[in-house]
Structure 1
Amino acid sequence: MDITAILGVILALAAVLGGNYLEGGQFAELLNLPAAAIVIGGTLAAAIIQSPAQDVARAVKLLGWAFGSNKQDLAGRIDRIVKWCVVARRKGLLALEKEAEKESDPFVKAGLLLLADGKGPEVIRSSLEVELITVEQRDLQAAKVIESMGGYAPTLGIIGAVLGLIHVMSNLTDPNGLSAGIATAFVATIYGIGIANLFLIPVANKIKNLVLLRYQYQEMVLEGLMFIAEGQNPKAIQQRLQGYLR
């Protein structure tokens, strides 16, 4: 779990609620079910209309990734690559099959199996690069779905505000109706702008950064596997991969 991201969300909520409290407002004043239905429901609907179903489903999955454990241990992976090189030199490439069984990362596992099968460097590169690029593009497209929701939410907030004002104008003789309509109008705007700028857009940008970090990680693994296939010695491999840590 990414504690920093969760703290960021908590801080954003605290800033809004704290500011409202300092202005003399009450928490209950910011709770408005019609406004939430308009903004959240409308934003989700717009994203579903805009994007293919697989992109929307992937975007939902990536939301969990943004707040989950997502740190890439580059130094630890370099040590593993060097270990694979030692195993390959001592026992042969076929021994890497056992190393592949220990891996939970499908990308790494596929690379080790290609090595164990005796595939050449170019075959390994072409095979893994296809997967690397495909997954990157798929996840970036899913991040764009979340980013687009950040563009729709403020507009839906304005729609909620207009609907609230329409309700106000149609109930000028009803004081209770006036207060409810005005509350929906202003709270819907807060929901739209707040959800977009304090959650959706930051999360989309974080996912893009995570995709980039994962790409660099997988690129390093690919280079390491290529070095092993070329028969380079463990010391040289370690030195060349150290550049990814800078």
Structure 2
Amino acid sequence: MDLATLVGMLGAFGIVVTAIFLGGSFGQFIDVPSMLIVIGGGLMATLIRFQLSDVGSAFGTGFKVAIAGKGASPRDLISEITNLGEIVRKSGPLGLENVDVSDPVLAKGVQYIADGYELEFIKEAMERERDLQLTRLSEGKRIFKALGDSAPAFGMIGTLVGLVQMLANMDDPAAIGPSMAVALLTTLYGALISNIICIPLVEKLDAKFDVDELSQTLIIDGVLQIRENKSPALIKEMLIAYLPEKVRAELAEAA
């Protein structure tokens, strides 16, 4: 679990709520019309731009990425793939049948090898799954970005609605307060949703895209090398190219 995301989101909301309690009543900051304008309007504007099923899937993907912990590092993956290559060299593909693999993508590739699938089939199947995963992440990023853009925009719309209502009821002092509340709280809600939820999730999805693209491409290359029965030393040497220069230098010194 990624504690940084949970701590950041809960902490940001907690700071705002604490400031509200220290300054007055929390009930003053709850306004149903403002919520309808910002949340409802933002969601509807997002639905106009995307398919309903895509929006639902994006929410699942976004929050899954937000709370999920980091996967195995490329360095750990290379070490694990090298060990799998040694097993195949000693025991053949069937030696992989009872091996525990940490990464689910790598586990699927190992199962393909153990089942005796052809090299071309393994390559096409794993590349297709990688591309579909990256497409889901990219689509989720676009949807959260659209929602992050819509929330402040509808906050401004709510502000205009509240100001119009206030100006239209200047002769009724009792109506000025609620109208001003709508005008100000919609801007607040829009800013909170955009800056605490949507924009951070866009950044998370963007980072996840880069990490998954690198990791899954590394795994595919490693699985294909194992399937071709390459030596573990050669597999390791080829996969080290995926590591940053500094890490490669550290590995060279350790060797």
Aligned-partner residue type, residue 52 of structure 1: Q
Question: 2:41 is matched with which residue?
Answer: 42
8 Å Cα contact 2:66-2:204 kept in structure 1: no
8 Å Cα contact 2:72-2:103 kept in structure 1: no
**Alignment match of 1:111 (pick from 106, 109, 112):** 109
Question: 1:224 is matched with which residue?
Answer: 222
Question: 2:248 is matched with which residue?
Answer: none
Question: 1:167 is matched with which residue?
Answer: 165
Q: Deviations over 1:105-145 (max 9, x none)?
A: 55323312322233444432222111111221122112211
More moved, 76-85 vs 223-232: 76-85
Aligned-partner residue type, residue 191 of structure 1: Y
Distance in 1, Cα, partners of 2:41 & 2:102: 39
Question: 1:8 is matched with which residue?
Answer: 8
Distance in 1, Cα, partners of 2:51 & 2:107: 30
Aligned-partner residue type, residue 87 of structure 2: V
Question: 2:139 is matched with which residue?
Answer: 141
Identity of aligned residues (%): 29
Distance in 1, Cα, partners of 2:43 & 2:225: 46
Distance in 1, Cα, partners of 2:221 & 2:151: 42
What is the CA distance between 1:58 and its match in structure 2?
A: 1.5
8 Å Cα contact 1:72-1:214 kept in structure 2: no
Distance in 1, Cα, partners of 2:241 & 2:53: 36
How large is the RMSD of aligned CA atoms in angstroms? 2.5
Aligned-partner residue type, residue 6 of structure 1: L
| Counterpart secondary structure, 1:150 | helix
More moved, 118-127 vs 144-153: 118-127
Alignment of 1:57-76 (within 5 A): 57-74=56-73, 75-76=75-76
Aligned-partner residue type, residue 88 of structure 1: V
What is the CA distance between 1:179 and its match in structure 2?
A: 0.5
What is the CA distance between 1:40 and its match in structure 2?
A: 0.8
Structure 1 stretches of 4+ moved >3 Å: 10-22, 24-29, 102-106, 117-123, 242-245
8 Å Cα contact 2:161-2:183 kept in structure 1: yes
| Counterpart secondary structure, 1:98 | coil
Distance in 2, Cα, partners of 1:225 & 1:113: 10
| Counterpart secondary structure, 1:57 | helix
Q: Deviations over 1:144-191 (max 9, x none)?
A: 111100111111111211221232233323322210110110110121
The verdict on how the C-alpha distance between 1:17 and 1:9 changes in structure 2, with shifts beyond 3 A counting, is: same
Gaps of 5+ in 1: none
Alignment of 1:163-242 (within 5 A): 163-242=161-240
What count of residue pairs does the alignment treat as equivalent?
A: 243
Distance in 1, Cα, partners of 2:102 & 2:174: 60
TM-score for the superposition, normalised by structure 2:
0.83
Distance in 1, Cα, partners of 2:38 & 2:243: 43
